[in-house]
Amino acid sequence: MDYILLVIIAYLLGSIPFALIVGKVGYKTDIREHGSGNLGGTNTFRVLGIKAGLIVTIADILKGTLATQLPFLFGMNDINPLIIGIFAVVGHMYPLFAKFKGGKAVATSGGIILGVSPLLFAIILATFFLMLYLTKYVSLSSMVTGVVTVIGALLLQETGLVIVGVILTAFVFYRHRENIKRIINKTEPKIKWM
C-alpha cells in the first residue's frame, strides 16, 4: 500500500505541466498551440524565449529529483527511489492534468539521475551541451545523453541505475521517434543560439 501511494504521488508530481502553466500564466499563451505543441522545455524555449524555457526546464528536472526523494520524505527507505522516479517521468509524458499529452521525458529523467547520482548528472549535462554545440540538434543531443547515462551507470557499477537508465533512455528514444525520422530526412530544426 505504501508503495502504491508513492507511485501515485510521483505520477501526479510528474503530471504538473509547467510548460502549460508558465505559458498561460506568464505569457497568456497555450504552448500546445505553437511550435511542436510539446509540453516541454525545448518547445518553451522556442515559443516563449529563454527565461520561460529555463523556468520550465528546471521545474521539469526538479519533478524527477523530488520524486526520488519521496521514499525518504515518507520514511520508506526500503523502497528504491529510482523506481518511484520512473513514475514521475510517466506523469511528465502522459500528464493527468493536460489530457495525457506531455513532454518527451528528457528533463524529468535527468532529474531522477540528479536525485540519485549528482556526479552522473554532471557528466550527462556536460554531454548534452557538448552534443548540442556540435550538432545543433536538441533531439539528437537528448538521445545521445541517454546512451551516455547507461554507459556512465555501467562504469559506476550501479546495477539499479543501469536498469533504470535503459528504461529512461528507451522512453526518450520512443518519444523522439518523429525527430529521428526528421534527422534522417535532414528536416529536423537546429538551434540558432549556440
**Domain extents for the chain?**
2-184
Helix count and strand count (H, E) for the chain: 10, 0
* DSSP track, 137-150: -HHHHHHHHHHHHH
List the alpha helices (DSSP H) in 74-117.
Answer: 81-93, 106-116
pTM: 0.94
pLDDT bin (cut points 50, 70, 90) of residue 35 is confident
| CB contact at 8 A, 109 and 41 | no
Its sign, for the CA torsion 73, 108, 100, 167, is negative
Nearest Cα residue to 183 out of 144, 146, 151:
144
pLDDT bin (cut points 50, 70, 90) of residue 1 is low
Judged by phi (left if over 0) then psi (alpha if -120 to 50, else beta), residue 186 lies in left
Average pLDDT, the chain: 95
Task: Reply yes or no on whether the pLDDT at 163 is more than 90.
Answer: yes
Q: What is the pLDDT of residues 44-102, one digit of tens each?
A: 999 999 999 999 999 999 999 999 999 999 999 899 999 999 999 999 999 999 999 99
